Structure 1
Amino acid sequence: MNFKLILLFISLSVSLVSPFLLYKQWTLVAWFDALFLIGLLLLMIYSVMVLVEGQFFTAFLKSTRNFFAKTNKKDQLIRESEKRSLESVSFRKEFPDRASFLQVGLLFCIGSLLISSAIYFLT
């Protein structure tokens, strides 16, 4: 069983339980609403993974460290006496299977949106 199927089954089971938590009752419309919310959550998780993997926040962290390192004279003297550089070691974070979050999230969002629209306009 691959990661995408596990994610799909876990997301479906959470979406079946969440209408009880959100609306205190289970209806078909509440389930489609919960399915849409789970899909949005998966898309947000995918977006955060893309930002972290693309090192979006690295520039902010480095500039903040440089600013505070230059304004703190005590640390600057210690760094000069130990002959350390200001730059820290950078690493690259890679997530194993982020495309599954995108695919399952889009499936849930688009599927529940289409079925909810069909229910609304046909009834």
Structure 2
Amino acid sequence: MNFKRVLFLISLGSSLTLPFFLYTEWSIARWFDALFLVGLLLLMVYFIMVLIEGQFFTAFLKSTRNFFAKVNKKDQLIRESEKRSVDRVDYRKEFPNRNSFLQIGLLFSISSLVISVALYYLD
């Protein structure tokens, strides 16, 4: 089984059990609500992966490290005596299966949204 199929089955299973934790009883409308929530969670995970891959947080890490290096006088004296600069912070992370999160999250969110709207207006 590939990752996409496993993620789909785990997400579908969690959307089936989530209404029992959120509500007192299970119904089809509540299952569509839970399916929408699981889809949104998958989309949020995807966008966090995109931020990490795009090195969005690297600037914060570099500036924080640079700030504490300049504030700490002891480390600054050691660095000056050894004639070395502040170490670079370079994190590069790639997620191979991030598109699976996007595709399944969009599938769950859009399908549950369309079906919920149809149930609301047809009922």
Q: Is 1:15 matched up with 2:15? A: yes
Report the Cα distance in structure 2 between the residues aligned to 1:61 and 1:49, rounded to whole angstroms. 17
What is the deviation of 1:89? 4.7
Report the Cα distance in structure 2 between the residues aligned to 1:44 and 1:72, rounded to whole angstroms. 37
Question: Which structure 1 segments of 5+ residues have no match?
Answer: none
| Match in the other structure for 2:118 | 118
**For residues 54-86 of structure 1, what are the alpha-carbon distances to aligned partners after superposition, in whole Å with 9 as ceiling and x for unaligned?**
000000110111112112211100112233321
Q: Provide the TM-score with structure 2 as the length reference.
A: 0.95
Amino acid at match of 2:44: M
Q: Please say if residues 61 and 89 of structure 2, whose CA atoms lie closer than 8 Å, have aligned partners that are also in contact.
A: no
| Match in the other structure for 1:107 | 107
Question: Which structure 2 segments of 5+ residues have no match?
Answer: none
Q: Please say if residues 20 and 26 of structure 2, whose CA atoms lie closer than 8 Å, have aligned partners that are also in contact.
A: yes
Report the Cα distance in structure 2 between the residues aligned to 1:57 and 1:42, rounded to whole angstroms. 21
SS at match of 2:15: helix
Q: Please say if residues 53 and 93 of structure 2, whose CA atoms lie closer than 8 Å, have aligned partners that are also in contact.
A: yes
> How high is the sequence identity, in percent, across the aligned residues?
71
| Match in the other structure for 2:84 | 84
What is the deviation of 1:115? 0.3
User: What is the root-mean-square deviation in Å for CA atoms of aligned residues?
Assistant: 1.0
Report the Cα distance in structure 2 between the residues aligned to 1:81 and 1:25, rounded to whole angstroms. 69
Report the Cα distance in structure 2 between the residues aligned to 1:35 and 1:7, rounded to whole angstroms. 14
Which piece of structure 1 moves more, 101-110 or 79-88?
79-88
Count of aligned positions? 123
What is the deviation of 1:48? 0.4
- Deviating runs (4+, > 3 A) in structure 1? none
